[in-house]
Amino acid sequence: MASSTLHLFFFLALLLPSTLTTATRDTCATAAPDGSDDLSIIPINARCSPFAANPTSTSVMDTVLHMASADSHRLTYLSSLVADKPNRTSVPVASANQLLHTGNYVVRARLGTPPQLMFMVLDTSNDAVWLPCSGCSGCSNASTASYFNPNSSSTYSTLSCSTSQCTQARGLTCPSSSPSPPSICSFNQSYGGDSSFSASLVQDTLTLASDVISNFSFGCINSASGNSLPPQGLMGLGRGPTSLISQTTSLYSGVFSYCLPSFRSFYFSGSLKLGPTGQPRSIRYTPLLRSSHRPSLYYVNLTGISVGPTLVPVDFKYLTFDSSSGAGTIIDSGTVITRFVQPVYEAVRDEFRKQVRGPFSTLGAFDTCFAADNDNLAPKVTLHMTSLDLKLPVENTLIHSSAGTLACLSMAGIPLNANAVLNVIANLQQQNLRILFDVPNSRLGIATEACN
């Protein structure tokens, strides 16, 4: 019987000198020394990630700035997740040497029989599971690229347009008539704000640690365009019918949680738990809301924001959840820094500046940077939600330069080119917190936890 709880360890050696020594055991190995499966979740640019760029020393500030620069595309993508919105019916083929990249955390997953290892991006705001398959046009041919080979799996099979799984896929391209034999189920989708792909819907065995999930449905990408697609696929944790969570309800009961570690350690380790077993008992909950306009997203009811002792005066209309329009506040694993609609952010920023000595400067996405020796004056920011007040630690509010001379408020406003109705609680603000998604009971739990 497969275990209902998976402990997945994050190793986030993002910005660290490659010359530093490591322990005898290779912490990036794909298997633990005791022979058990190692399901590490790693930032896509970390030391243990196959997609890491140059492993030379880089500051935390520089890495966060680089990652946050993609937030505008992410926000555009999130705003595009509208129910029944038409999808693209064709996908241009990109050049063969195009490098596809996006996402903050990847997980080792194995598909097929025998299992083929893939590093797949985890995304709480996506309902789909897909990965590049051998022969894909426009997918990366970089040394880090890896493709799923259907011909090497004895349990692989395609799904036809007549199957129930096919009707649940977004962007179907099945013919209106029913040919004999039925056509292979195909679909087109966009991702990340600037990428798109064409895929066939297939099924095979998915292995997560010791859990073996038979007849798991996913998209097998045939052609792609753009630079935001995860190079080895995506594992959607949304609540749509084709997500990992929905397809494994009998195993994990629609419950999962994660704890993201701080960027301040050499090895950043955290955990993801699938299923109700092993979840924290002492945890506070707030309702998990669902929008009929954007059903993929996990909404919470943000009722106010305090900076230090001051409740920031903002027009409640910018916080109010509206199921029909999709306005409100979501919690998201793929956005780097928390974003508020511009009037809300400006009110929070202005109150923060009142309580911290200037002068202030701008650096990348951050417009409130100041001398770090004043960070002891920095007030804590509290997010008020229904039945839950989340007081962010200072390390979840400020980001420091490598020299330690500069500190910046690690939040920003919604860019003008994005849909300005979504507030996004991002992964930097979720660090050292256990975030629990209890989908069947429509509740989100948050508890303090030392993830490192």
| CB-based contacts of 312, cutoff 8 Å, min separation 6 | 304, 305, 306, 344, 347, 348, 351
Bridge partners for 408 per DSSP:
369, 399
CA 207 to chain centre: 20
Catalytic residue among 71, 204, 211, 332: 332
DSSP letter for 65, please: H
SS3 429: helix
Identify whether the C-beta of residue 337 lies closer than 8 Å to the C-beta of residue 71.
Answer: yes
Q: From the candidates 71, 123, 204, 211, which is the catalytic residue?
A: 123
Q: Where would I find the H helices in 210-295?
A: 244-247, 249-252
For 448, residues 6+ apart whose C-beta sits below 8 A from its C-beta are 432, 433, 434
Q: Does 84 qualify as catalytic in the annotation?
A: no
CA distance 89 to 80: 16
Is 252 within 8 Å of 282 (Cβ atoms)? no
Chain centroid offset of residue 298 CA? 12
Listed residue (347, 281, 263) closest to 58, CA to CA: 263
Q: Any catalytic annotation for residue 127?
A: no
- Distances from the Cα of 105 to the Cαs of 8, 77, 101, 133, 200, in angstroms? 12, 18, 12, 21, 25
Q: Could you give the residue numbers annotated as active site?
A: 123, 332
